[in-house]
Structure 1
Amino acid sequence: MKGRLFVEFNVEFPEASALSPDQCRTLEKILPRKARGQLTDMELEQCEETIMHDVNIEEEMRRRQYQRQQEAYNEDDEDAAPRVQCAQQ
């Protein structure tokens, strides 16, 4: 589905006193600037909440390969010509 994707992260930052001034400057360079505005109520109503799950890439690739093999097998069955049976006289 085409649309805008909003991802919300809950990040626990260390206390400011635990960071050196150099570390603070580095974080400011890496992280995006603080957002100026919030989403409107209408934009929030159009959002769909979802839950992300960890995926085992190797297992997912094996599952997809198996699925493709099954689809190819099923296509072969569909394309097969009807079998002719001999009638006994």
Structure 2
Amino acid sequence: MTADFERLARAIHLDVETIANGDGWIVTGGLTPHLVSGSACDCIDFGVRGTPCKHVLAVALRRGDPDVLETLRLLVPLPRRRRSPSDA
């Protein structure tokens, strides 16, 4: 699954809960909770664009999707390592 930076940045702040029967996820944190099932979401953004919305990406992050995690790594650079006196 590919992710664009803007949607992924918004997905980081959402809460994801598994539905009791295991058939999907409830994503909250915005104005309205949304249902994500598989790679589909009931939000307007997904319905219009048909590409992963922030809710689908939040679930992908929760599940540890390697492609989405790699995109996140590109979005958030790793902190620089401080030089110690022994590095000189």
TM-score (norm 1): 0.25
**Quick check: which one's helix share is greater?**
1
Largest Rg, 1 or 2: 1
**Quick check: which one's strand share is greater?**
2
TM-score (norm 2): 0.26
